[in-house]
Amino acid sequence: MHISEGVLSAPVIAAGWGAALAGVSVGLKKTEARRLPETALVSAVLFLASLVHVPLGPSSIHLTMLGLAGILLGWSAVPALFVALLLQGMLFQFGGLLSLGVNTTVMGTAALSAFGVWRLFSRGNSGRDLPPVFAAGAKPAAAFVSGFTAVITGAALVTLSLFLSARDLAAAAALMFAANLPLAVAEGILTAFCVIFLQRLLPRYVSGQSGI
């Protein structure tokens, strides 16, 4: 989901930076000091996971871990992603500094979509616990949907960014979105396994109150 440097138009870059700075600001305000170590740890995981990538035109296909980031961090996933993407751009020229705003917005929104799905399953729209079918036994299913949703959301936003930048990128954008469909399934499965592991080892991190 990293968009390469020199691909996006100036208006898309500007809009991406505006949204990214707003998201990072909100994320920092919602991040408590006691949660900084785990936020930094998730940022490191995001940094490593997406370094193994397959270039695909103006973007790339790779593991994102955005579903898990959204579940664990909530809004704090946005500044965590910003730091991870900034270091990738500076150290490995993966993504880029001009496209950093759009990449942060794309992946941050994807993580927040996973966070929203997770909260919906865990707490319900009214904030009360849902029936037992949605409780602990169904958390892997909720995690799968969260991971799947994150990738689909990110892929859709990358597709939109490329299309708005240049109409001749439409074919590449459509190919990139299609290539992310099997990745969405894989990410959903991986997120579910991670939640099962955390549910047994550190259950407070995947409770209905997880995320910041």
Encode pLDDT of 21-30 as tens digits.
999 999 999 9
Residue at 46 is within a domain: yes
Residues 6+ apart with CB under 8 A from 114: 66, 67, 68, 69, 70, 71, 146, 147, 149, 150, 153, 191
Residue at 211 is within a domain: no
Query: What's this model's pTM, rounded to 2 decimal places?
Result: 0.85
Give me the domain span that covers residue 192. 10-206
pLDDT given for residue 62 in this prediction = 75
pLDDT given for residue 152 in this prediction = 95
Residue at 2 is within a domain: no
Where residue 92 sits, what CATH number does that domain have? 1.10.1760.20
Q: For residues 16 and 101, what is the distance between their CA atoms, to the nearest angstrom?
A: 5
Residue at 38 is within a domain: yes
Per the structure, how many domains does the chain have?
1
Higher pLDDT, 3 or 207: 3
pLDDT given for residue 91 in this prediction = 87
Rg of the chain, C-alpha, whole Å: 17
pLDDT given for residue 71 in this prediction = 93
User: Please, which pLDDT band fits residue 35 given cuts at 50, 70 and 90?
Assistant: confident
3-state secondary structure of 209: coil
User: Please, which pLDDT band fits residue 129 given cuts at 50, 70 and 90?
Assistant: very low
pLDDT given for residue 126 in this prediction = 41
Residue at 202 is within a domain: yes
Residue at 178 is within a domain: yes
pLDDT tens digit sequence for 145-171: 999 999 999 999 998 998 898 877 777
Residue at 30 is within a domain: yes
Residue at 104 is within a domain: yes
Average pLDDT over residues 130-153: 75
